[in-house]
């Protein structure tokens, strides 16, 4: 599966840091109620794999894994039900393993050389990270001018104020960020608030 194939129909990808896997199903339902039917569960908490396993049981919801650093993490996440893989940087071994397992993979890149590596590995999209520190949309446009076959998914500093501008650019197939499902709201069980944030985020699509 290509990177863009994994993101098909998911222009906004919430980046989730979750401490309690028992909240994963409610979180997925809250996001779906607001019009977002996917999430990237980051491996930044001890029970993230459990959360992936729980969220993957929600019908019609696409769960991915983020902050993947090792092949063992990738395998454990896929075995738990992850349907796409995101990493902060580009590692050829991780990319090849994900592709061999038939799942979309979105490695992080910050330079043209890394973007060219992604193309050589057969990818058609990458995560541009950390977007806000690397020049944001202006840098994406410069990279896309030279590498038009590649989509760039900004992550890092993306929020409600910047997402619509990113999504309006043809080089940006999706955006990812934590603003839709902040960890504090998940921990507090404030799922109505998360639904409202998701609905607000999906309304950005009309402006893009």
20-62 pLDDT, tens per residue? Answer: 999 999 999 999 999 999 999 999 999 999 999 999 999 999 9
Whole-number Cα distances in Å, 20 to 8, 30, 39, 60, 61: 28, 16, 15, 22, 19
- Catalytic: 92? no
Q: Which of 144, 161, 153 is nearest to 200 (CA)?
A: 161
pLDDT at residue 204, rounded to an integer: 81
Whole-number Cα distances in Å, 191 to 23, 70, 198: 9, 32, 10
pLDDT under 50: residue ranges of the chain: none
pLDDT at residue 50, rounded to an integer: 98
* Spatial CB neighbours of 19, under 8 Å, sequence gap ≥ 6: 45, 47, 183, 186, 187
- Catalytic: 127? yes
Indicate the pTM of the whole model. Answer: 0.95
CATH 3.20.20.70 fits 3-202, yes or no: yes
CB atoms within 10 A of CB 111: 12
Catalytic one of 26, 40, 92, 114:
40
pLDDT at residue 205, rounded to an integer: 79
d(CA 165, CA 161): 8
For β-strands 104-109 and 84-87, DSSP reports them as parallel
């Amino acid at each position: 599966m290509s990177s863009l194939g994994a993101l098909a129909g998911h222009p906004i990808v919430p980046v989730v840091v979750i401490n309690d896997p028992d909240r994963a199903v409610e979180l997925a339902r809250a996001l779906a109620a607001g019009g977002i039917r996917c999430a990237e569960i980051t491996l930044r908490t001890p029970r993230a794999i459990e959360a992936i396993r729980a969220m993957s049981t929600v019908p019609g919801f696409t769960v991915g894994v983020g902050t993947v650093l090792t092949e063992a993490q990738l395998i454990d996440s896929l075995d738990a039900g992850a349907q796409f893989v995101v990493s902060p940087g580009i590692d050829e071994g991780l990319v090849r393993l994900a592709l061999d397992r038939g799942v979309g993979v979105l490695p992080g890149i910050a330079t043209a050389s890394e973007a060219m590596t992604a193309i050589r590995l057969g990818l058609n999209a990458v995560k541009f990270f950390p977007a806000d520190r690397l020049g944001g949309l202006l840098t994406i446009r410069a990279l896309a001018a030279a590498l038009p076959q590649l989509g760039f998914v900004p992550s890092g500093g993306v929020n409600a104020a910047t997402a619509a501008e990113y999504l309006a650019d043809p080089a940006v197939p999706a955006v990812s960020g934590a603003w839709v499902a902040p960890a504090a709201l998940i921990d507090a069980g404030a799922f109505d608030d998360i639904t409202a944030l998701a609905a607000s985020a999906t309304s950005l699509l009309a402006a893009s």
